[in-house]
Structure 1
């Protein structure tokens, strides 16, 4: 831990990292190049951005070895039978990914993290402390940003405000769009005036704006730390208008290397005319470049770009890497970053063309128009001046938005990948295991059914050489349901030959943790449209998600009792690749665990029979097709997405923003 003097320095640095307002500013450009290239793995030269590499090296060399040693020697979570020093020498490398799905996903992710927090007396294992990376998307991005900018504050105090220096926590009892209720005209009016004033300042400074700016400012009231119960409707309070995503660097936990490296996932569309031509209810094709926002960079490892810009210069217009005007600072507003990862408003163009939503869309567009957006602003997506204009990647691919002035950034789940696995699959990050928290609303009951994993498996194969392989999974959502894999945690990719360690044939173990009705001890399937939670609902949701993450796969004969071996089995999975690198044979205890939790194509029929016998063979809502070819054949993978999904969520949010008009 840092000493008190260092804490003062960190606090001062954090204060200095705050922008004076929501509006970015123009500054002189540095002499150094503004675009960093991430290399081409086919030439063996994919690298991390230097600042990320430095952070990860410090964390993995100076922080994590002792934590892994303690974890492996902790008998409370079970004994693997391995020598801790041998496993730690193999450098385990873990990531956690939290899905989108509005406040439901935020709370499901938060409750799960509380179960993975070693500071709690009861835990499935201190994976939050052990993880090298923590990725979030849409509603999951709200959790990740809040956790990171609030210095890894314990989850319950972060969310509820109890026993916290913050007053009110996330304040989910106040609706994100109508915090004083539909009839609270005066207070709501002050709220909207504050949002509009901030966004108008950005427009007046000459930067493109959209509905995402208003949305991001609204999210900041809840997930950052400048809004309290007392000042919520105050027009004098700053409400974190100048808090930057890069401010994460100055938190105590980040400066001391105690924090998993946080990443927000987004995707992009080329322009307003880009539309899917198939029957999928996703909005963005998988071929589009997905972007990530980290404390140091904005960019993508995908072969269509393989480049980044330093976060402090995000918003700078570049042509082939050269500034076309002065450079930009303070574009990386933390609320705008969260809003970008959850910017699903363009879905209205795909899903709603009838009279039902025409008045809502009209009101929305008028609200943005009244803020005097600069020419070229695109109303329904996050607007980023294109730093990758006329850019040519080193990979032999072309960047699809190279010819656009505005980089149109959208909700990271609009291509079907609602769990942000792609950033964690980059070869340079070399993760061994990823704990995938899936709070998606894939079914009519608002539970997950494997849709996101199916989409990611297909995405990896589009530009496979930039990523580690994705492990074998069932062909489609219906198979996930038929095999009972939507009702319990499952490990995918357990077994890999020693000969394939360290090359493209390697892949991480995916620890899939879907939100489901199966063994759930409480309500965690609220609608994505629900934009407020009573305090009692918030606590019960956190409790249920926490318990679910600690119960594992109960024995069918005692379905209400947690699996006592779950903490051990989780431990066996997260260290298995390090064990293999160290040349250590699996112990009987870990082999028994992996036999219980690991999936492979060879046991698919056995799982179907067991699920049918248990009476859990219910149809996958909206699940749909998929070929019968091998899961590793890209053309055979089906991308059948649930009806409604992101399009319906967009309608709900649009309806709320109609109040602005």
Structure 2
């Protein structure tokens, strides 16, 4: 650790000391504290908590200036940007950010997206969305997204830039993942043994104090060493609620964090869309949903109560709201593995139990976070099944396991009156670990269920349409016109959807990859920056202004102010307008009621991959509109080969040369008139594999353009070189126009091409404005840990890749014995 790192660590420790951010026992074990004799820790979920409402006033004193400054810059080139002054003379837009799940993949991509919005990032104001983060009121996290949100929030609202500046391999700095959590010390066995001994001791002492424990405690304590490396034992005594006492929070200089977990009912071993969601904010722990409809004071979580009243007057529990424990609750996938039915996983988890839970009482639930005593015991605010409030324990699992991998719901609440939600999607929907929009569909569908009846979410298309229109590969706006949303419970915020895709780095890395070098971490973060900025604005130089339009839209509608022509053009380009495009029909839904009917009936959450008996070949003829700057350039040649021990080999190869009818248009594109397009029609052949061929292996070998660029290993201190030249990335992306239903995005992430799953070499990505701080060799991390492909949308959907991985898992399990 360098001297500067020691100074930073000392400052953080000083900050924690100042806010008394420690358990009353100065350990992982909760302890008894005095509280008012007549205190009631429960409130009905019928509005914002008074503390949250009071804090929002302070926050918006800061977001008003930040958003005004951002919007002035975003609309500087508008023919008339007086709308900005008109809005701020009456109101301040309220913005939220949703950090999607997906393990470390999500953590790093989300970090890059947020860095692009953070004025503290070098280059973000000049070549990104700098200042927008300073105008955000709320951030939410779930699953792997909570790895990111917890890190920046509970390191005194640190910046991604600061984390990068200190990022090294092997020094135990923040996000130093050069060693797997399964073997955190690497060759330093003394470090590993001490770390595991500390975790075991913490769990045992908590249990001896009368609190239920599980492997989820070990999960959280282990990851604390990666998020809070400067704190004793990875912040094992750090409390969630004490962020309230930090100056950066008290003064409203940072957003309010809300992380999500799901409640598993007693007697059940899984959750689904009908399961209850739990919000965890600095102020409260609870749910708006009819199964609980109550919140409890976060500071006194763990107190034995009856209808909110402590069973021992004047005596409460503090320290149960441990930062690592609650982050574990939002990210806990142990439940999924343990209940998979796989004997291998059961054996592995039982070996972990022998290591971390010796001689403790686990009440048979070693796979969930146990909040006991149940803070909602005996409450009467619920409107449906009382089984949750009747139970003595509350069982918590990963907030994205039900399919809502993007944590939209806290930001959609009518009570929070948010105008815009910016959301990443790093979901592993496809076999190649790219999203196809299932998380959007899950949250949309849930509002029509009993559990989500008080929620609202903009209309979204079915999964097939999302893929056909390229929505899963480019930014898309949902809910652009509030007049079309009146059939919902209320008008929800506009949504800016930012799906994971490759620009300079293949960020489709398996959730199970547990080790990353510094170079790989920087590559992931850099690509996230490019996702947020449409490749540093080279895909669309107007995207900054379009984001400004999205920020202003709801207030412009509410105040009935004139809509700038530039914003109208942006919304024509980025808004989904109701087009449904699937194998059965292509249509535009013109009314909100029709939209609801057509969309809900057309939705399928099933995997896009299918099998049949024997081989069957399906031919798809597709028309793709592309910018004329790609005239006469050879497009990527993709060869897909399927190898089968007992089946015949098969292969398909596609090579296309693009020719414009009038290629002089290409020159106009290069000179700035980038709205010229030509249309390509191609025939794609897909071979499906018979179900019996269980040992089949499929590989995709992509090739890049003939003018393949060279990677630069130089590192500087900004994310973007600021080049305004045309993009020549390997996806061949043009400006996305989801509104007209035609696909103008080309093969924007090479869905038939590169596969950057663990253990393979990624294809080089070409970008003319690459981020110089993160200009690294673009290769995927090697799979040195447990190679489990886990789809966060479907808890039962995972597989083990190869016998070598099985051996790796078993060896990993043995080291805990």
Query: Is 2:428 the partner of 1:435?
Result: no
Q: SS of the counterpart of 2:234?
A: coil
Residue matched to 2:56: 56
Residue matched to 1:623: none
Query: Is 2:120 the partner of 1:132?
Result: no
Pick closer, same or farther for the CA change 1:631–1:375 going to 2, 3 Å: same
Query: Is 2:30 the partner of 1:24?
Result: yes
Residue matched to 1:152: 157
Bigger mean CA offset, 544-553 vs 574-583 = 544-553
User: In 1, distance between residues paired with 2:600 and 2:484?
Assistant: 25
Bigger mean CA offset, 315-324 vs 378-387 = 315-324
Residue matched to 1:104: 105
User: In 1, distance between residues paired with 2:560 and 2:451?
Assistant: 28
Pick closer, same or farther for the CA change 1:52–1:377 going to 2, 3 Å: farther
| CA deviation vs aligned residue, 1:118-155 (integer Å, no higher than 9, x gap) | 23323224221111100011111111111111222220
How far the C-alpha of 1:15 sits from its partner, in A, is: 3.6
* Conservation of the 8 A alpha-carbon contact between 1:419 and 1:452: yes
Query: Is 2:734 the partner of 1:588?
Result: no
Structure 1, unmatched stretches of 5+, are 1-6, 40-46, 228-236, 276-282, 555-560, 611-627
Structure with more relative contact order (C-alpha pairs < 8 Å, separation 6 or more) = 1
User: In 1, distance between residues paired with 2:370 and 2:215?
Assistant: 10
How far the C-alpha of 1:498 sits from its partner, in A, is: 9.4
Residue matched to 2:492: 507
Pick closer, same or farther for the CA change 1:591–1:536 going to 2, 3 Å: same
* TM-score computed with the length of structure 2 as normaliser: 0.68
User: In 1, distance between residues paired with 2:31 and 2:601?
Assistant: 46
Query: Is 2:376 the partner of 1:388?
Result: yes
How far the C-alpha of 1:637 sits from its partner, in A, is: 4.5
Query: Is 2:165 the partner of 1:172?
Result: no
Residue matched to 1:86: 86
Residue matched to 1:4: none
* Conservation of the 8 A alpha-carbon contact between 1:156 and 1:162: no
* Conservation of the 8 A alpha-carbon contact between 2:66 and 2:132: no
Pick closer, same or farther for the CA change 1:154–1:358 going to 2, 3 Å: closer
| CA deviation vs aligned residue, 1:43-99 (integer Å, no higher than 9, x gap) | xxxx11111111112212x22222222122225875472332321223211110001
How far the C-alpha of 1:634 sits from its partner, in A, is: 5.6
Structure 2, unmatched stretches of 5+, are 1-11, 588-593, 610-789
How far the C-alpha of 1:410 sits from its partner, in A, is: 0.3
User: In 1, distance between residues paired with 2:551 and 2:141?
Assistant: 20
| Number of residue-to-residue matches in the alignment | 597
Instruction: Choose the corresponding residue for 2:509, options 526, 541, 546.
Output: 526
How far the C-alpha of 1:392 sits from its partner, in A, is: 2.2
Instruction: Choose the corresponding residue for 2:469, options 461, 480, 483.
Output: 483
How far the C-alpha of 1:284 sits from its partner, in A, is: 0.9
How far the C-alpha of 1:478 sits from its partner, in A, is: 2.4
Q: SS of the counterpart of 2:389?
A: coil
User: In 2, distance between residues paired with 1:267 and 1:118?
Assistant: 34
* TM-score computed with the length of structure 1 as normaliser: 0.83
Instruction: Choose the corresponding residue for 1:549, options 529, 532, 539.
Output: 532
Residue matched to 2:268: 274
Query: Is 2:507 the partner of 1:537?
Result: no
| CA deviation vs aligned residue, 1:382-437 (integer Å, no higher than 9, x gap) | 0101111232225x323441221110000001111101001111110111111111
* Conservation of the 8 A alpha-carbon contact between 1:344 and 1:650: no
Bigger mean CA offset, 187-196 vs 76-85 = 76-85
Residue matched to 1:620: none
Pick closer, same or farther for the CA change 1:358–1:119 going to 2, 3 Å: closer
* Conservation of the 8 A alpha-carbon contact between 1:124 and 1:566: no
Pick closer, same or farther for the CA change 1:402–1:210 going to 2, 3 Å: same
Query: Is 2:390 the partner of 1:408?
Result: no
How far the C-alpha of 1:479 sits from its partner, in A, is: 2.2
* Conservation of the 8 A alpha-carbon contact between 2:33 and 2:318: yes
| CA deviation vs aligned residue, 1:563-592 (integer Å, no higher than 9, x gap) | 101111011012100111222021101000
Residue matched to 2:284: 297
Residue matched to 1:231: none
Query: Is 2:352 the partner of 1:364?
Result: yes
Pick closer, same or farther for the CA change 1:248–1:649 going to 2, 3 Å: farther
How far the C-alpha of 1:551 sits from its partner, in A, is: 1.1
Higher strand share: 2
Larger Rg: 2
Query: Is 2:551 the partner of 1:574?
Result: yes
* Conservation of the 8 A alpha-carbon contact between 2:39 and 2:309: no
Pick closer, same or farther for the CA change 1:509–1:158 going to 2, 3 Å: same
| CA deviation vs aligned residue, 1:12-71 (integer Å, no higher than 9, x gap) | 5324555510100123443221101112xxxxxxx11111111112212x2222222212
